[in-house]
Structure 1
Amino acid sequence: MSQRSDTMRQQAFLTALSLALVLGACSQGAKEPEGETSGDAVEQGGTVPSGATQAEPTQAQATPASARVLGLEGLGELRIGQPVPKGGSWAERGAQTGDECRTVSSPDYPGVYAIVEGGKVQRITVGQRSDVKLVEGTGVGSTEQDVKKWFAGFREEPHKYEDKPAKYLTAPNAASGDPALRFEIGKDGKVSLIHVGAMPVLAYVEGCA
C-alpha cells in the first residue's frame, strides 16, 4: 500500500511540473519581440510610445538637389519658353530699360537673372555669387578645359569686352531656335557666365540694354 502511495505522489509531482513548464513557455511567448523600436510601431500603424520622438526631415530631404541645377528646360520653377510663374519668388527688381525686354530675379538664386520677352522667359543667366551648376557639375569658375571636356564642338567667338583668351562658346544647335547653352570665358580662362535660352536672346551681350 505504501509503495502504491509513493507511485501516485510521483505521478502527481510530474503532472504539476509539466503544467508549470507549459505555463512558463506561454508567458515567454507573450513578451514583445526584442528589437522593435518606436519607429517600427509607427510604421505598422501603432502610436509613438510616451517620451519617444520621430526623426525630423533633414535639410537635404526638404530641398531637392535638382533645384540648384540649370538645364535646357530652365531652373527650378522658371521654364524657358513659358511665362514667369505667378506667386513665386521670381519678379522684376530695380529699374528696367524698356517694355519689350524685362529682367527678373529671385532672392533664392543670388547671381542669377532671367530675360523675359513676349511675356515668356527667353534666357536664364548664371553669374558670379551663384552656386547653380549644370548637371555635369560645370559652373561659374570652371575652366575652359572643363567645359570642352563635356561640351565638344561649341562655336568659338571673340569676347566683345575682354581680351583673349576671353571668348564665347555657343552650342552648335543654338541656330535652330531651340533652348541651347552659351558660356562666357573670361581672360583668366574660366567661366564667368552661363546662359541657357533661345536665339536671338541667348546671344544678347548686354542683357536687355
Structure 2
Amino acid sequence: MRNIFCATALALSLAACSPASEEVAQSANQATANATEALTPIDPGTPTPSPGVTADANTLTLEGLGALKIGEPVPEGSGWAERGAQVSDMCRTISAPDYPGVYAIVSDEIVRRITVGQRSDVTLVEGIGAGATEAQVREAFPGFRETPHKYVDAPAKYLTAPNADSGDPALRFEIDAQGEVSMMHVGTMPVLGYVEGCA
C-alpha cells in the first residue's frame, strides 16, 4: 500500500509542473483505483452468478417445479394437495390450481414424479413442453431410449433418459400418434415409468 501512495504523490507533484496537469492527475487517480481494487481481498463465501438460462416458476427441471422438489416432502402452504379419489394410501397424486395440467405422484410422503400434460404451459429450460415434436425432443436429448407406448399404437412411444435407472431424477417423454409430446415426466424409477398414475 505504501508504494501505491508514493506513486500517487509522485504523479501528482509532476502534474503540478506540467501543462497537461489535469490529464496526468486523472491517470494517477485511475492507477491508484486499479491498484487498490487489485489488492482488495475477494470473499470466497460470496457466490458468483453462473451464466446461462435460469429456471422460473413455470420451468420443469430435474430438481422439480417451483417449490415442489423431487425427493422432498410436499412444501406446506404451496397449494399442492390431493384432489379426488386416491388409489392407495401408499401412493397419492396431488395437483395445484396454479399449475393446470400438472400433477405429481407422492409415495411415503416424498415427491417421486412430476407430470406435465397437454393443458399446461410448463416447459423445460430448452423450451420443450406438451405439443413439441418428437424431432425437437430428439434434437435436444439425443440418446434417449425408445420403448413402445402401452396404450397407443406406433408411432406413439416413450422416450426415456438413458440414466433413468441410476436412482437420480430423470426425464421421460410420452410421444402420441401424431409424433408430439403428450406428456413429460421428471422423477425417479420405478415411479417415473408408471403408466397409469400410481400404477
Shift of 1:65: 6.8
Q: Say yes or no: does 1:85 pair with 2:75.
A: yes
CA-to-partner distance for each residue in 1:28-68, whole Å, 9 max, x for gaps? xxxxxxxxxxxxxxxxxxxxxxxxxxxxxxxxxxxx97000
C-alpha distance in structure 1 between counterparts of 2:77 and 2:100, whole Å: 19
Residue 49 of structure 2: aligned partner: none
Residue 150 of structure 2: aligned partner: 160
Amino acid at match of 2:69: R
Residue 99 of structure 2: aligned partner: 109
CA-to-partner distance for each residue in 1:70-125, whole Å, 9 max, x for gaps? 00000000000000001111011111110000011000000000000011000000
CA contact (8 A) 2:56 2:66 kept: yes
Amino acid at match of 1:131: D
TM-score (norm 2): 0.72
SS in 2 for 1:94: coil
C-alpha distance in structure 2 between counterparts of 1:88 and 1:185, whole Å: 30
SS in 1 for 2:82: coil
C-alpha distance in structure 2 between counterparts of 1:158 and 1:65, whole Å: 31
SS in 1 for 2:150: coil
Amino acid at match of 1:86: E
Residue 32 of structure 1: aligned partner: none
Cα RMSD, aligned residues only: 1.1
Residue 24 of structure 1: aligned partner: none
Residue 123 of structure 1: aligned partner: 113
Shift of 1:189: 0.2
Q: Say yes or no: does 1:178 pair with 2:194.
A: no
TM-score (norm 1): 0.69
SS in 1 for 2:183: strand
Q: Count matched residues.
A: 146
Residue 96 of structure 1: aligned partner: 86
**Structure with the greater alpha carbon radius of gyration:** 1
CA-to-partner distance for each residue in 1:105-163, whole Å, 9 max, x for gaps? 00000000000001100000000110000000000000000000000000000000001
Amino acid at match of 1:155: R
CA contact (8 A) 2:55 2:125 kept: no
| 4+ residue segments displaced more than 4 Å | none
SS in 2 for 1:107: coil
C-alpha distance in structure 1 between counterparts of 2:126 and 2:100, whole Å: 21
Gaps of 5+ in 1: 1-63
C-alpha distance in structure 1 between counterparts of 2:109 and 2:153, whole Å: 35
C-alpha distance in structure 2 between counterparts of 1:100 and 1:156, whole Å: 29
CA contact (8 A) 2:55 2:61 kept: no
Gaps of 5+ in 2: 1-53
Identity of aligned residues (%): 71
Residue 134 of structure 1, aligned match among 118, 124, 129 = 124
